[in-house]
Amino acid sequence: MTEGPARLLRGGEIAAEVRSGVAADVAAFRAEHGYVPELAVVIVGRDAPSTVYLHKILDGCRLVGIGGRLVELPEDADAERLDAELRALCRERTVAGVIVQQPLPARIPLRTVIDALDPARDIDGIHPLNAGLLALGYEGFLPATAHAAVQLLLRSGIAVRGKRAVVIGRSNVVGKPAALLLLREGATVTICHTGTADLAAEVRRAEIVVVAAGHPGLVTGAMVAPGAVIVDVGINVVDGRIVGDVDAEGVVAVAGALAPVPGGVGPLTNAILLTHLMRAARNLAEGRRDAGTASLHPVPAAGAGR
């Protein structure tokens, strides 16, 4: 690996290529089925980083001709209100995908979403059916941010197989799925979290680091091995600016490559999410209720099973 200054891995150009393909798919779908599929994004209360993220998703929908709908429930909405909203959305013919922004208020259990959300419309992979398919190595809907983080590496020509990878963060929406996807690609993966005794030591051993902890400046240049590839997935608002979990200025001087915030994984996340939606739309339009599972064939993996 070559020591910094780091090459910046920006997702914008790759995202534009993905969106071009989606736009063509939307046009073909409309010609075949007579309607445009929609994405519904649901949020309870207003959270600054989440709202920014959701509006970017809706902007992406408009760019490719997909219908986008923001469903904002009040801060005091209860589980019953969320349940009813999700069930209503999942009954609409044109709604091919539903996203529920997390974290939810503490009074609303995640079980509310699981019980009400149709797995065939779960294009961000939070339902246990899709999470289980990912863990078992089958084709399901993947959490879009984790999917984009690994795709950014692969589409940027970064070798993954045989590399030592560290994922910082064990959330069900980014950390765990990113670790599973890296494992699928043949990396040797360590997951770090708040219980990790010496985070700096773990990071220093890694050739690839995916950071999704929600703590600005968590990974510094002093922690990073020369030439390592760092993928920042954190979204934090600091002094009115969106920043990641990486001290970019310090890391750029040491790393071989850095996916920064903003401009790295984010643009590709939104584009990949639209490919998930079109896959769901086609499966639903063709009456396949196993929309997320395809034919339950294992996804080819580098060195799978060994």
- Extents of the domains making up the chain: 7-12+143-265, 13-142+268-285
Q: Is 66:274 a contact under the CB 8 Å cutoff?
A: yes
Provide the strand spans (E) within the chain: 7-8, 38-44, 67-73, 95-100, 164-168, 188-192, 208-211, 229-232, 236-238, 241-243, 257-259
For the domain covering 13-142+268-285, report its CATH number: 3.40.50.10860
Question: Does residue 236 carry a pLDDT above 90?
Answer: no
Tell me the per-residue pLDDT of 92-102, one tens digit each, with 9 for 90 and over.
999 999 999 88
For the domain covering 7-12+143-265, report its CATH number: 3.40.50.720
Largest CA distance in the chain: 57
- pLDDT at residue 293, rounded to an integer: 47
CA distance 279 to 120: 10
Tell me the per-residue pLDDT of 58-76, one tens digit each, with 9 for 90 and over.
999 999 999 999 999 998 9
Question: Does residue 301 carry a pLDDT above 60?
Answer: no
**285 phi, psi to nearest 5 deg:** -65, -30
Question: Does residue 11 carry a pLDDT above 70?
Answer: yes
CA distance 134 to 132: 5
The identity of residue 281, as a single letter, is: A
**pLDDT-derived band of residue 297, with 50, 70 and 90 as boundaries?**
very low
Same fold, 7-12+143-265 and 13-142+268-285: yes
Question: Does residue 196 carry a pLDDT above 90?
Answer: yes
**pLDDT-derived band of residue 2, with 50, 70 and 90 as boundaries?**
low
- pLDDT at residue 182, rounded to an integer: 98
Compute the average pLDDT of residues 128-134.
95
Q: Mind giving me the DSSP string for 167-187?
A: EE---TTTHHHHHHHHHHTT-
